[in-house]
Structure 1
Amino acid sequence: MDFDAAKALCRSFPGCTEDTKWDHDTVFSVGAKMFAVTNKDGSSKGFSLKADDARFLELTDRPGIIPAPYLARAKWVFVTPDAELDDAEFSALLRRSYELVFAKLTRKLQREIAGE
């Protein structure tokens, strides 16, 4: 799993913004709502992301994927470098996280981001 490629993928999503929160985390957001978080300085190689409610338990039963600290109640998972995910599956999880957050935005904001 390539975390630098994951960051590049996040940046490619329509309307994605990137900023630093809590002094040490890089946060990827759409419509001012976060969909992925990673450590800014790389000391904690991992990604937190939103998961489907139905997949949360399945994902956290896998090695290297744990409930995300502070965000597990909102069905976020933390993917460590030890997770047994290939790049395609990890990319799909990031894309799904983006889609889940995008779907919660107002219709007006969704249209603005989509360029309609």
Structure 2
Amino acid sequence: MNLFDRADFDAFVTGLAGVTLVDQWESHVAKVGDKVFTLLHRGDEGANICIKVTEESFEILTSLEGIGQAPYFAKRKWVSITDKASLPAEELVHYVKRSYDLVAEGLTRKLKNELGIVPLA
């Protein structure tokens, strides 16, 4: 699976409970409960995926080539991963899923139930 490919990106994120996709900010944006958890942007210089991460993951990821703080996201815990980054595809999938979990954790219990989000054990 190549999450930098829009079809693969869509297939993966829509497999998660309560996800909607919109095109905004010149990007393809995935939301859960109307809150962004990842976006795919394709530009002249390639593609990048932005995700929310923990503070520890932020430190680890931003030390890698091709990964930096996400532009336009005011909070420090968002990273932008380019399609040239030295991050294996399975790790990217893990981090996108973790971003979903981080954002979904902040939703109300009622909304999680409405969206069919199962609480983490």
Provide the TM-score with structure 2 as the length reference: 0.85
Residue 70 of structure 1 and its aligned partner are, at CA, apart by 1.5
Residue among 35, 47, 53 paired with 1:51: 53
CA contact (8 A) 1:66 1:79 kept: yes
**What do you get for the CA RMSD once the two structures are aligned?**
1.8
Task: Say which structure is richer in helix.
Answer: 1
Residue among 73, 76, 83 paired with 2:75: 73
Alignment of 1:14-33 (within 5 A): 14-22=17-25, 24-33=26-35
Question: What is the CA–CA distance in structure 2 between the aligned matches of 1:109 and 1:10, rounded to whole Å?
Answer: 18
| % identical equivalent positions | 35
Query: Deviations for 1:14-71, whole angstroms, at most 9, x for unmatched residues?
Result: 110000113x1111000000000122xx324110010112211111011111100021
| Runs of 5+ consecutive residues of structure 1 not aligned to the other structure | none
SS of the counterpart of 1:63?
Answer: coil
* Residue 92 to residue 115, structure 1, CA distance change in 2 (3 Å): closer
Residue 6 of structure 1 and its aligned partner are, at CA, apart by 3.1
SS of the counterpart of 1:94?
Answer: helix
Alignment of 1:1-116 (within 5 A): 2=2, 3-4=4-5, 5-22=8-25, 24-39=26-41, 42-43=42-43, 44-71=46-73, 73-114=75-116
Residue 115 of structure 1 and its aligned partner are, at CA, apart by 6.7
* Residue 76 to residue 107, structure 1, CA distance change in 2 (3 Å): same
Question: What is the CA–CA distance in structure 2 between the aligned matches of 1:8 and 1:33, rounded to whole Å?
Answer: 19
The count of aligned residue pairs is 113
* Residue 37 to residue 115, structure 1, CA distance change in 2 (3 Å): closer
